Amino acid sequence: MRFNILGPLEILRGGRDITPSAEKLRWLLALLVARGSQVVSISSLIDEVWGENPPRSAIATTRGYICQLRTSFRKATDYSTTDSLIVTRPPGYGLRLSTGQVDAKAFEKATEGGRNLLAAGRPREAAQRLGQALGLWRGPVLADLPTGRLLRAHIAHLHEMWTTAQELSITARMQVGLHRELIPELRSLVIEFPFNEWLHGALIEALNRSGRRGEALRAYRDLQRILDDALGLAPSAPLQRLQRQLHVPEQEREEPGLPFARGVVPGLRSA
């Protein structure tokens, strides 16, 4: 069985979708999947669904939902598989899953593998591994479900991991010289994430290294305007240095640009 949360909740068995239809069942199941093989306490399950004002029947209702989940899986699979999948263990419940069964866990493992390859000076292999990691995403995490405090925290963590994987992927592809190929993707990303200065810097660097220095300067001015209009801020010092370098002939520059142009891996930079 395959449990996917990088997008709408999706439970697959042999390519067949066996995701429960009832929203509360999917909601509780999503929290169990997000925790992987960890046991989730009954109090955490209640907190996720009802927050600070649970009904008096919350414990009994939660246990009933777990029974319904077991029944749902029993109908879609075989008894022995279902019996071992959802485990009852104080103080609550958990799923017996391997890393390869959960797309989020596979994503995190592939992202870390890509980071290690990049740190080892193997950017081409890193780009391939990171492309596989990012390809697991089907949309916003659990986009089809309401979320409580616990799931929102997990979703925020995964979105930060997605940002990290994007940075690593862009860095790897920069290091193998794919500057021109990155420009369309980077233009889309800076529109989607207008306050992410790292992405703006990557776009400026990609344009510059593609022989489009005028467009690179215009991209810097776009960032400057966005930050000033929305936040009253100027671009960060590294971006300002990059902008100054654009006015200097390439052969006279002291350094090639932002950290990814010097083989520095995101997340491993020195302070």
The string of DSSP codes covering 200-217 is HHHHHHHHHHTT-HHHHH
**What's the pLDDT band for 268 if we cut at 50, 70, 90?**
very low
Cβ contact 96:90 at 8 Å: no
Q: What is the pLDDT of residue 163?
A: 97
For 98, the 3-state DSSP assignment is coil
pLDDT greater at residue 74 or residue 164:
164
Query: pLDDT tens digit string along 43-102?
Result: 999 999 999 999 999 999 999 999 999 988 888 876 555 557 899 999 999 998 887 899
Q: What is the pLDDT of residue 77?
A: 78
Query: pLDDT tens digit string along 210-259?
Result: 999 999 999 999 999 999 999 999 999 999 999 999 988 766 656 555 65
Q: Is the pLDDT of residue 269 over 50?
A: no
Rounded to the nearest integer, the mean pLDDT of the chain is 91
Q: What is the pLDDT of residue 271?
A: 26
Taking domain 178-271, whether its CATH number is 3.30.2130.10 is answered by: no
Residue 267 structure tokens: 């997340």
Q: What is the pLDDT of residue 218?
A: 98
Which residue is listed with tokens 């009802």? 50
Taking domain 2-98, whether its CATH number is 1.10.1740.10 is answered by: no
Residue 202 structure tokens: 């990557």
Cβ contact 8:138 at 8 Å: yes
How much is the CA Rg of the chain, to the nearest whole Å? 23
pTM above 0.75, yes or no: yes
Residue 270 burial (CB count, 10 A): 5
Taking residues 9-38, report their average pLDDT: 94
Q: What is the DSSP secondary structure assignment for residue 232, as one 8-state letter?
A: S
Bridge partners of residue 88, in order along the sequence: 93
The string of DSSP codes covering 131-187 is HHHHTT--SSTTTTS---HHHHHHHHHHHHHHHHHHHHHHHHHHHTT-HHHHHHHHH
Q: Is the pLDDT of residue 270 over 90?
A: no
Domain boundary assignment for the chain = 2-98, 178-271
